[in-house]
Structure 1
Amino acid sequence: MAKDPVCGMFVEEKEDSIRHTVDGKEYFFCTTQCLHEFTAPEVELKKLKAVTVASIGLTIPITLLTYLAFLPSEINNFVLLALATPVQFWAGWRFYKGTWDAIRARASNMDTLIAVGTTAAFLYSAVVTAVPSFFPFEQVYFETAAIIVTLILLGRLLEQRTKEKASSAVRKLLDLQPRKARVLKDGQEVEVPVEEVAEGDLLLIRPGERIPVDADVVDGSSSVDESAITGESIPVDKVPGSEVIGATINKSGLLKVRATKVGQDSVLSQIIALVQEARTGKAPMQRMADQVAKYFVPAVVIIAVASGLAWYYAGGIGLTFSLLAFVSVIIIACPCALGIATPAALMMGTGKGAENGVLFKGGEYLEIARKVRTVVFDKTGTLTKGQPEVTDIIVLSDAGEQEVLRLAAIAESGSEHPLGQAVVRKAKETGIPVAGPDSFEAVAGHGLVAVYSAHRIMIGNRKMMADSGIAVGDEVNAQMARLEADGKTATLVAIDGRLAGIIALADTLKDSARQAIDSLKAMGMEVVMLTGDNERTAKAIAAKVGIDRVIAQVLPQQKEEVIAKLKSEGRAVAMVGDGINDAPALARADLGIAIGSGTDVAKETGGIILIKNDLRDVVTALELGRKTVAKIKQNLFWAFAYNTGLIPIAAGALVPVFGAEMYSWLPFLAAGAMALSSVSVVSNSLLLGRYRPAHIETRTNL
């Protein structure tokens, strides 16, 4: 059995099954509608918008004419027939197609329930209109059929708008790769489309350019911003022999590289493939309405046919009343409130979420939020702020802390490196004026040398100091080791050939991180940190926020594998991330939660977006998901309960008491049940408006 990638229904892999192949992978579909949504989502969304708007435009006057009766009964019914026909057979055509596909698959679904119920209501009403004397009653149900069709279309339109963003996420990933590459051929620089780059080609990468393909550095040195792929905020120094990744940005120096992975083998292509696979492979929420419809539809049809035949042959009430028994069962069993049961709760749930900084992108994510038991956090940009800050300044001379910071900032003002920019930013925040250096030289992989006002300033690592003949004693080494063990980057500052201080920098934690982790633990969640950083740095950060389980040194394509492994442990997994490198993991997780300040790809791949960039809203999302799903289930219960409770009456259970004439007042009973179920559903959903996150008072007082 295959699974429909659009609706999640299981489909038999038979010769005549609806199928489509993409990049050598075959997908099976339960209906042609799902096939069209998969192959041309933008076209289908445009069609659905037009149909839904037209259906709403026709349903409003149908409803007004039904309940306000401006016209004489005979004329009114013909006007209703004219207005309802396009709603039933044009706007509702997709339900007939879905029913036919379900019949071919020997199954039933919501389309079947909608098609059978609305057709029965429409045809009965059409007969009453065209041949008033055929039935003893003049009540018509045109508005019932129209309202059901319109509400279901509206719900599907909301779903389609969410699904459209999946393909948009992949397009943004593709946009990261440069279109052209500079290839060196016979000593000449030739610009070619990136698709024509072959493995082994030599390429030239200038400062500020994106690297076209995965490659090894042959000549030159530079720092490369890999944050888009690895999530690491600090650029990585590259020297001959280093690997560079396609779509990353060359920051400072000229690089000559040799292509090692091109086309579908590149890291970016693998990430795109993982996003697509995880997107299509994820089973959507098993909607309760569909599950009930699977058994409900055949049962209703059997009851309707049985009641009609039983009253005709055994009850002897005549053909007219026997047909009324059949039609009454079908109409009453098609619950109008079912169309608003989920949208009403979702409207309140998503509205309340947005009010509190949480954006839900579909009903399936609310369903999954209720089940989550493991929450995985990316480190850089998610738990941390995503940019380095100066955390410690240790003075090693009599120059004083302010003077060490001032001269270090002057030297770093000529650097584009984020660590250097953090030093300059710290000096300005402290009120120290930062001038430009008289001269500046970057030493790739080690640090920099600058001259200012006759002072020679060196900033770099231990090796740079040793190469310059500046001794780094055991005490200084011990201080640096302590800082590094705490997950910080320790940099030495020398002035005029003597050590003057140590400046430590780190990507600092977000203010809300600790409280969010504590709240999740209180909810019984297992919390995991997932990062590409080294294990020492990762564990230091994890200890500060109270995370016990750390998975470090994970490459982008491995993040998705880690999530899949966690899911295999039998617990529903939520992934919280912000970068492109997190997109496959967000898509593979049962629930992807994207930080609002993160990349567009992360936001569009995630099922929930934290608008306010506040990690405490992860807790709000899970709480609100549970409460909203509870309302949806209650609504679905009431949507079915009122109508199914009346099925025995519609089938004629009270005929022995009231006689066949009961069918004269049964339509009013059906209308009352429909109204009462709708009111119950809406009122129950409105109760979500009282929800208030547990930490809201804390947030207000901060």
Structure 2
Amino acid sequence: MVWLGTIVTALVTIDPHLFGTIAGERGQQRLLNGIITLILFFTVLFANFAEAIAEGRGKAQADALRSTRSDTMARKILADGSIESVSSTSLGRGDRVKLVAGDVIPADGEVIEGIGSVDESAITGESAPVLKQPGTDIASSVTGGTRLLSDELTVRIAQDPGQGFIDRMISLVEGAERTKTPNEIALTVLLAVLTQVFLIVVATIPSIGNYIASFLDTSLGPAVADTFRAGSSIAILISLLVALIPTTIGGLLSAIGIAGMDRVAQFNVIATSGRAVEACGDVNTLLLDKTGTITLGNRLADEFIPANGHNLEELARVCLAASLFDETPEGRSIVALARNLGANLDIDGQPGEGVPFSARTRMSGTDRDGEEYRKGAVEAIKGFVRSRGGSVPASLDQARERVSRLGGTPLAVCRGNDIYGVIYLKDIVKPGLKERFDQLRRMGVRTIMLTGDNQITASVIAAEAGVDDFIAEATPEDKIEVIRREQSQGKLVAMTGDGTNDAPALAQANVGVAMNSGTQAAKEAANMVDLDSDPTKLIDLVTIGKQLLITRGALTTFSVANDIAKYFAIIPTIFAAAGIGPLNIMGLKSAQSAIVSALIYNALIIPVLIPLALKGVQFRPLTADQLLRRNILIYGVGGMIAPFIAIKIIDEIISAIGLR
């Protein structure tokens, strides 16, 4: 609407009487119309400038990502086992490629053979290489554009050309999929209604003006009537409309949304849409995994606690046997502690066969010399022992309770149907989390910790971390159940995940943040991807989302307050000659100068607010009612006062230089 008004005022600058004869000298009208056209032009320019700055940041990030994507040659493994050199753009889902040290990984895929270190700095910014190997959800996923640093890998391609992770990231940060969020749509409707109201006000002014002018013609003389008619010229009416309609927030609305996605990107998180960022601000419930999110994640074996009549030496030997094939930090720490206690195994012959950990069985171990060595969750080991005809001693529960009260994780250990004792894995809660959870609580966000630990351990960790609730002995299915339960109560839920078994829950959650180190299924199900694979960022994302909503609300409040103030500043000056001059409390010189002053203020306030729109309003962990009161006080009252002061100053300047 503003650009259309600019065109019309440009036309009446060329011919002031284009839409009918008006009072006043042609040269004076042309000057006034020219000034109005120039101000309107800068209003459009400033509004576009705000969005251009925000989009420019996204395009710069897209260019950086695009530089990592290149058309490389790949060694494609054919059906007969031979290798053919092909372009990476010709690879499709299901193709297998051979990679050697120094190769750029041609496309997203899954490692099916080999082991090697991959440089993912082009994606994550982290220089430390990442070990990739088959057989696990996390370590088997590779991203196109990253580089293999050592050894050899065979990779199965998971995406067709143009659909890889980097391609989707480029599309997202460039704004190709930028759509209005529900809140933006609602705000746009509000602005449209306000525009219609002020349009009706302005449209009725000429008819009212003609009636009043005819009255003034007989009562106060033609000179006064002509002065009044001059205030109803087409250029003045357009200026009045532009000054009154909410152009400020209209010009900044897109910039606020784009800047929100940009702030998320600065945290090294890619959002699929502005809707995802905005949803973070509306989140009521956070689901947080204990390991890696609330605790440091590297649980280490601190002590072996014998049970069932066994001594420490026997327990250490069984712990060593059960952990021979466990390459996790916990497994390696168990092996180290067992060997420090003197445990040793004769592995000259067959070392046995490893049994990997499963989220369903919740245990791992070794099958060796006809014996089954297992370690895992206490309840899982109890079930395993009973299934082999064994019994569970009371000393096992005593050892578990002792570890749980220390806030550690107990792992039961058995050989066949004989329980040997408990491993104490020490958990360390990340520093500073309790204060952050307190902030979230003040904002009305409820935190729920999910853990595979037993009730006692979970309660100790939950109390130390300061979460609102916890779910012990949780399975992947429990996540979806909790999400659905919270959503059925009208709450918005956010969670993090990295494995294929997390994909359904990530898709169900209102905000699902997948780790970049996670599987392709998890990344496709989520609406955000954390390139640093740091689950604690979920807390930061909630803060960013709330800051986005607060910024939009604050600037909307300021803009609407501005419009109301400008209305009561300008309208009395237009009808001053009709006997309502006393309402011109600011003493503005004339209707023309008042409208032009408001128009200048209207144009200048946009670039003044651009830094605030891009950076965001300062965030404070307050409740919704407290934030509303704060916004009304600062941006509502401030939005009413600022136009009165600025318009008065500009009006005095215009009068001083003789442009009344």
Tell me the TM-score normalised to structure 1 length.
Answer: 0.50
Q: For residues 144 and 563 of structure 1, what CA distance do their matches in structure 2 show? A: 56
Change (3 A) 1:303 1:383: same
Aligned to 2:557: 634
Aligned equivalents of 1:417, 1:252: Cα separation in 2: 21
8 A Cα contact 2:409 2:425, kept in partner: yes
Work out the CA distance in 2 between the residues paired with 1:618 and 1:580: 20
Whether contact under 8 Å (2:283, 2:491) holds in the other structure is: yes
CA contact (8 A) 1:128 1:134 kept: yes
1:308 to 198, 203, 206: 206
Q: Summarize the alignment of residues 350-499 of structure 1 with structure 2, pairs less than 5 Å apart.
A: 368=279, 371-377=282-288, 381-390=292-301, 392-394=303-305, 397=311, 417-420=328-331, 422=333, 443-446=352-355, 461=365, 463-464=367-368, 467=371, 488=409, 490=411
Distance 1:125 1:488, change over 3 A: farther
Q: 2:448, 2:470 within 8 Å by CA — same for their partners in 1?
A: yes
Quote the Cα distance in structure 2 between the aligned partners of 1:340 and 1:309.
30
Give the structure 2 partner of residue 665 of structure 1.
590
Query: Please, what is the CA RMSD of the aligned residues?
Result: 7.5
**Whole-Å separation in 2 of the counterparts to 1:245 and 1:469:** 27
| Distance (Å, rounded) in 2 between the aligned partners of 1:591 and 1:143 | 45
Q: For 1:155 and 1:484, how far apart are their aligned partners in 2?
A: 57
Cα distance in 1 for partners of 2:305, 2:183 equals 55
**Cα distance change on mapping 1:170 and 1:424 into 2, 3 Å:** farther
- Report the CA distance between 1:244 and its aligned residue: 11
SS in 2 for 1:510: coil
3-state SS in 1 of match to 2:354: coil
Question: What residue is the counterpart of 1:156 in the other structure?
Answer: 51
Aligned with residue 431 of structure 2, among 511, 517, 526: 511
The match for 1:544 among 461, 469, 472 is: 461
The 1:307/1:343 distance shift into structure 2, 3 A limit, reads: closer
Q: Following TM superposition, by how much is the alpha carbon of 1:148 offset from its aligned partner in structure 2, in angstroms?
A: 1.1
Could you say if the C-alpha distance between residues 262 and 643 of structure 1 is closer, same or farther in structure 2, counting changes exceeding 3 Å?
Answer: same
Structure 2: state its 5+ residue gaps.
124-129, 215-224, 357-363, 375-384, 582-586, 623-660
Shift of 1:293: 4.0
- Shift of residue 307, structure 1, vs aligned partner: 2.5
Counterpart pick for 2:189 among 269, 291, 311: 291
Distance apart, 1:520 and its partner CA: 3.4
Deviation at 1:673, TM superposition (A): 3.8
Partner of 1:330: 238
**Aligned counterpart, 1:145:** 40
Tell whether the 8 Å contact from 2:138 to 2:519 is kept in structure 1 after alignment: no
Q: Deviations over 1:279-330 (max 9, x none)?
A: 6787354167632442344444444444335545773556993674443232
**Post-superposition offset of 1:156:** 1.5
Alignment partner, residue 115 of structure 1: 3
- Offset of residue 152 of structure 1: 0.8
Counterpart pick for 1:644 among 559, 563, 567: 567
Answer yes or no: is 1:654 the counterpart of 2:552: no
Match of 2:494 in 1: 575
Per-residue CA deviations over 1:565-614 (Å, capped at 9, x if unaligned) read: 67964746252537597899879865567899999989993699999957
Change in 2 beyond 3 A, CA 1:251/1:622: same
CA distance in 2, matches of 1:587, 1:125: 57
TM-score by length of 2: 0.52
How far is 1:153 from its partner?
1.0
Deviations 1:353-408 (A, max 9, x none): 99x9999999877865553323343565434445454354447756699xx79x97
CA contact (8 A) 1:198 1:262 kept: yes
The unaligned stretches of length 5 or more in structure 1 are 1-111, 448-459, 695-702
1:182, CA displacement in angstroms?
A: 3.4
Structure 1 pair 540–151 and aligned structure 2 pair: CA distance change class (3 A): farther
Question: Counterparts of 1:538 and 1:134 in 2: how far apart (Å)?
Answer: 86
- 1:196/1:125 CA distance change after superposition, 3 Å: closer
1:511 counterpart SS class: coil
The amino acid of 2:440's aligned partner reads: L
Q: Which residue of 1 aligns with 2:440?
A: 520
Task: Give the Cα separation in 1 of the matches to 2:67 and 2:481.
Answer: 24
Deviation at 1:208, TM superposition (A): 13
d(CA) in 2 for partners of 1:438 and 1:607? Answer: 42
| Superposed CA offset, 1:215-254 (max 9, x none) | 998xx999999x99xxxx9999859xx9997649999999
